Structure 1
Amino acid sequence: MNFNGHGVWAIYRFEMARALRTIWQSVVTPVITTALYFIVFGSAIGSRMEAIDGVAYGAFIVPGLIMLSLFTQSIFNASFGIYFPKFTGTIYEILSAPVSSLEVVIAYVGAAATKSAALGLIILATSTLFVPLQVLHPVGMLAMLVLISVTFSLFGFIIGIWAGSFEQLNFIPMLIVTPLTFLGGSFYSINMLPDVWRAVAHFNPVVYLISGFRWTFYGQGDVPIGISVAATMGFFVVCLAVVMWMFKTGYRLKS
Structure 2
Amino acid sequence: MNLTSVKTLYRAEMARSLRTILQSVVSPVLSTSLYFVVFGSAIGSRISEVEGIPYGAFIVPGLIMLMLLTQSVSNASFGIFFPRFSGSVYEILSAPISPLEIVLGFVGAAATKSIVLGLIVLGTASLFVPFTIEHPLMMLLFLVLTALTFSLLGFIIGIWADGFEKLQLVPLLVITPLTFLGGTFYSIDMLPPLWQTVTLFNPVVYLVSGFRYSFYGLGDVSVWISLGMILLFMAVALVVIHAIFRSGYRLKP
Give the equivalent residue in structure 1 for 2:108: 110
1:119-175 deviation per Cα after TM superposition (whole angstroms, max 9, x unaligned): 000000000000001000001100110000000000000000011111111111111
Matches of 1:86 and 1:53, distance apart in 2: 48
Q: Does 1:178 align with 2:176?
A: yes
Matches of 1:228 and 1:154, distance apart in 2: 18
Give the equivalent residue in structure 2 for 1:197: 195
The 10-residue stretch of structure 1 (123-132 or 34-43) with the greater mean CA deviation from structure 2: 34-43
Give the equivalent residue in structure 1 for 2:211: 213
Q: Give structure 1 regions of 4+ aligned residues with deviation exceeding 4 angstroms.
A: none
What is the CA-CA distance between 1:221 and the residue it aligns to?
Answer: 0.3
Matches of 1:226 and 1:5, distance apart in 2: 33
Matches of 2:87 and 2:59, distance apart in 1: 42
What is the CA-CA distance between 1:47 and the residue it aligns to?
Answer: 2.1
Give the equivalent residue in structure 1 for 2:237: 239
Select which of 126, 134, 137 maps to 1:136.
134
Matches of 2:210 and 2:234, distance apart in 1: 15
1:70-106 deviation per Cα after TM superposition (whole angstroms, max 9, x unaligned): 0110000000000000000001000011110000000
Matches of 2:116 and 2:129, distance apart in 1: 20
Q: Look up the SS of the partner of 2:250 in the other structure.
A: coil
TM-score, normalisation: structure 2: 0.99
TM-score, normalisation: structure 1: 0.98
Give the equivalent residue in structure 1 for 2:57: 59
Select which of 3, 17, 20 maps to 2:18.
20
Give the equivalent residue in structure 2 for 1:223: 221
Q: Look up the SS of the partner of 1:48 in the other structure.
A: coil
Matches of 1:172 and 1:114, distance apart in 2: 21
Q: Look up the SS of the partner of 1:85 in the other structure.
A: helix
Identity %: 62
The 10-residue stretch of structure 1 (204-213 or 169-178) with the greater mean CA deviation from structure 2: 169-178
Give the equivalent residue in structure 2 for 1:42: 40
Amino acid at match of 1:48: R
Amino acid at match of 1:209: L
Select which of 85, 88, 91 maps to 2:86.
88
Matches of 1:87 and 1:215, distance apart in 2: 41
Amino acid at match of 2:137: V
Matches of 2:14 and 2:166, distance apart in 1: 24
Matches of 2:38 and 2:75, distance apart in 1: 27
The 10-residue stretch of structure 1 (42-51 or 149-158) with the greater mean CA deviation from structure 2: 42-51
What is the CA-CA distance between 1:50 and the residue it aligns to?
Answer: 2.7
Give the equivalent residue in structure 2 for 1:157: 155
Matches of 2:175 and 2:115, distance apart in 1: 18
Q: Look up the SS of the partner of 2:49 in the other structure.
A: coil
User: Any gaps of 5 or more consecutive residues in structure 1?
Assistant: none
User: Any gaps of 5 or more consecutive residues in structure 2?
Assistant: none
CA RMSD of aligned residues (A): 0.6
Matches of 1:189 and 1:253, distance apart in 2: 42
Matches of 1:82 and 1:192, distance apart in 2: 40
